[in-house]
């Protein structure tokens, strides 16, 4: 199945790290979602802004992807957890596309408070068939230590290559 990996990553690149693991193992095309206006580099400021945006369902403007998603049958979409839901940039991406006839594989990284990220991603992947959703845990300090085992992540990646 022709597959594209798309993710947004801000804080530590945790989500991008998982996307790169998938890319290395499968060779699927891979790109990141970038906002036109970058978030503040300072954690507290980004966190406060993220709180307001997730509460209001704000969709930041995102840059055009280097790949045309219409050319793919399956899109693997990754997001960090922001205030118990997906990052606003991923909401912008999902709401900008119609996934009818496509499969979406949602994955997320979190620090122990996963909220409703996967459920919310599924609700916004309009028309998609959802397969192999995955939650991946990093340390509870919001750092870059992977808690979910690499073995578990690799098994999930292998299950995608069907
Ligand atoms: C604005 C913001 C809000 C966050 N909210 C949550 C949360 O609600 N639950 C949680 O488990 N982690 C939360 N985190 C932690 C991140 O989801 C986690 O560290 C993630 O792996 C970071 O991925 P990234 O490095 O790809 O951005 C938040 C981080 C930020 C920056």
**For residue range 89-129, what is the model confidence (pLDDT) as tens digits?**
999 999 999 999 999 999 999 999 999 999 999 999 999 99
Confidence of residue 73 (pLDDT cuts 50, 70, 90): very high
For a mutational test of ligand 1's pocket, the pick from 51, 111, 117, i.e. the residue with the most ligand atoms closer than 8 A to its C-beta, is 111
Domain count within the chain = 1
- Whether the pLDDT of residue 71 is over 70: the answer is yes
The model scores a pTM over 0.85: yes
Query: Among residues 91, 85, 29, which one has the least CA distance to residue 58?
Result: 91
List the domain range (segments joined by +) for residue 43.
Answer: 3-160
Name residue, tokens 């808690």: 147
**Any atom of ligand 1 within 6 Å of the Cβ of 140:** no
Point out the least confidently predicted range of 37-46, 72-81, 90-99: 37-46
- Whether the pLDDT of residue 50 is over 70: the answer is yes
34: CATH: 3.40.50.360
pLDDT digits (tens, 9 = 90+) for 21-37: 999 999 999 999 999 99
Please enumerate in sequence order all residues whose Cβ is within 8 A of that of 91, keeping only pairs 6 or more positions apart, or say none: 57, 59, 85, 120, 124
| Cα 104 to ligand 1 centre (Å) | 22
């Amino acid at each position: 199945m022709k597959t594209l990996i798309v993710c947004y990553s801000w804080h530590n690149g945790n989500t991008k790290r998982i996307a790169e693991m998938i890319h290395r193992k499968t060779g699927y095309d891979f790109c990141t979602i970038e906002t036109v206006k970058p978030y503040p580099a300072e954690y507290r400021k980004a966190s406060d802004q993220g709180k307001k945006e997730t509460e209001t369902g704000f969709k930041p403007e995102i840059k055009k992807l280097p790949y045309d998603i219409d050319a793919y049958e399956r899109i693997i979409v990754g997001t960090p957890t922001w205030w118990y839901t997906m990052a606003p940039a991923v909401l912008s991406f999902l709401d900008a596309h119609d996934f009818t006839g496509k499969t979406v594989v949602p994955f997320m990284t979190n620090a122990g408070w996963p909220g409703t990220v996967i459920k919310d991603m599924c609700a916004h992947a309009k028309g998609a068939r959802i397969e192999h959703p995955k939650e991946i845990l990093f340390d509870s300090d919001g750092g870059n230590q992977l808690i979910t085992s690499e073995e578990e992540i690799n098994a999930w990646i292998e299950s995608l290559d069907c």
